[in-house]
Amino acid sequence: MAVLNDELRNRIADLLPRYPHKQAVTLPALHIVQDALRCVPREAIREIADLLDLSPAEVLDTMTFYGFFRTEDNPLGRTRLWLCRSLACMLRGSDALTEHLCRSLGVSPGETTKDGAITLETAECIGACEGAPCALVNDERTMNLTPEKADQLVSRLRQHLP
């Protein structure tokens, strides 16, 4: 049974003219699928491979090279909250902030809250050192976080979820 619907297939196919080789679309295709499905199911790997004239192993190689893709055994929550742990952020309290969020969300880094709302992760650097400690909420930067600001952020995230 197909995992990728027509919209996802078309979004991937629309990328093909932008790249010199089909294989170069592997990484963007994986992002498209994960953004839509909150993971990259095994069957989607096969379907991406078919679309790009690759073997499933080639797609899986790309997927497993990067640490941010998830399988259906460990999907992302509706919101992905990345906490930066670079030196600049650590010097400005990111360790304490991570501990605070772990306690308040009831998860460890890499885990998703029981309600499936938030996946808490850490990143080596998100490129916002001037606003340390910082985080990414999906793809949006949040800077100068404190435990209080983090609690407000989590509250806003939960309000916007179904």
Residues 11-43 pLDDT 10s: 999 999 999 999 999 999 999 999 999 999 999
CB atoms within 10 A of CB 124: 10
Nearest to 70 by CA among 107, 41, 103: 41
What is residue 32's DSSP assignment? H
Report yes or no: 38 and 70 within 8 Å, Cβ to Cβ.
Answer: yes
Q: What pTM was estimated for this model as a whole? A: 0.82
Q: Average the pLDDT over 131-136 and give the result.
A: 96
Q: Average the pLDDT over 2-15 and give the result.
A: 96
Report yes or no: 75 and 82 within 8 Å, Cβ to Cβ.
Answer: no
Average pLDDT score, the chain: 94
Q: Average the pLDDT over 61-76 and give the result.
A: 92
pLDDT band at 67 (very low <50, low <70, confident <90, very high): confident
Q: What size, in residues, is the chain? A: 162
